[in-house]
Amino acid sequence: MNPSKIFAIIGLALLPAFAHAAKVVSVTGDGGEPAPRIAVYLDCSGSMAPYLDAVEAEVRKQFPDADVFKVDGIWVWVDGTVVRGGASSVLPHKPAHAGPRVSLDTSRLSPTGKEILARYAGNFEVGSVGAWVDILRTEKRYDALVIFSDFNDQVLQVRPGRPPLQTYVDDAGRRHLPEAEIRDDRTVLEKKWEDLWVGSFDLANAGKAPALYLFSTRNPASRILQKSAEASGGKFTLIDWLRPDGPPKPAN
């Protein structure tokens, strides 16, 4: 598929998120500066490389002030009851030996985006999209959060111990199954982070939190991300036909 066609398709797919953000375009930030409307998480793993430039270009065309965060990976890891890299702590940025997973390029970020990246780059490095969502779900300076990925990675929750015990795994290969068929050994307390996410995003319906939009080129998004998007008034959209090896584009 040629780049111009990919560009047009992505533009159409992202229209709901743009429209949601446009509802409050008259809101201004501190000092009269227009508030950034959209924060975008681009999964920069190797399998996503063909789409990244087109996605970023379309986002910037529609909303020049959008903050685009580029991170390699799309996992959500939970240690006990705490989302790894989440809002409960601020972590120093310590890139892996193979290189940083988080792009530190701030040249196209708004002041809000620069502030968030400077403070939480270390969180995003170790916590991927789980950290990003846990931190930005209460960020009122954004009206919409957009995640673009193939959603290949797991949601993994582990109970500390010797050895640690896996209590919940949401694997991409099993997301077609009913939720009742997914083993879940967590306690009520260990599930509380999910309740907090859904509750936070529900506030988007009253304009008190950002809405969440999910776009996937391959797999369904994790169950918790889809629940959060639905609660916020956002949605999950599968655009697997965008891939060169994907199925035919739906007629509608």
Residue 9 lies in a domain: no
Tokens standing for residue 109: 């970020």
Residue 152 has what pLDDT? 93
The pLDDT of residue 241 is above 80: no
Residue 28 has what pLDDT? 38
The Cα 116–Cα 71 span in angstroms is 14
Residue 29 has what pLDDT? 43
pLDDT per residue over 217-234, tens digit each?
Answer: 889 999 999 999 999 999
pLDDT per residue over 64-121, tens digit each?
Answer: 788 999 999 999 999 999 999 999 999 999 887 777 889 999 999 999 999 999 999 9
Q: In the predicted model, what is the mean pLDDT of residues 206-213?
A: 94
What would the DSSP string read from start to end of 26-68? T-B-GGGPBPP-EEEEEE-SGGGHHHHHHHHHHHHHH-TT-EE
Cis status, amide bond into 163, omega within 30 of 0: yes
Strand ranges across the sheet with 82-83: 82-83, 76-79, 155-159, 165-170
* Domains identified in the chain, total number: 1
Residue 58 has what pLDDT? 73
Residue 151 lies in a domain: yes
Residue 250 lies in a domain: no
- Higher-pLDDT residue of 134 and 23 is 134
CA angle 99-103-104, nearest 5°? Answer: 105
The pLDDT of residue 169 is above 90: yes
The pLDDT of residue 163 is above 90: yes
Confidence of residue 18 (pLDDT cuts 50, 70, 90): low
Q: What is the CA radius of gyration of the chain?
A: 18
Residue 186 lies in a domain: yes
Q: What is the pTM of this model?
A: 0.86
Residue 240 has what pLDDT? 74
Residue 20 lies in a domain: no
Q: In the predicted model, what is the mean pLDDT of residues 184-192?
A: 98
Residue 16 has what pLDDT? 58
Query: Could you give the 3-state DSSP secondary structure of residue 159?
Result: strand
Tokens standing for residue 207: 């304009």
Residue 54 lies in a domain: no
Phi-psi domain of 99 (left: phi exceeds 0; alpha: psi -120 through 50; beta: other): left
Residue 182 lies in a domain: yes
**What is the domain range of residue 186?**
34-47+65-241
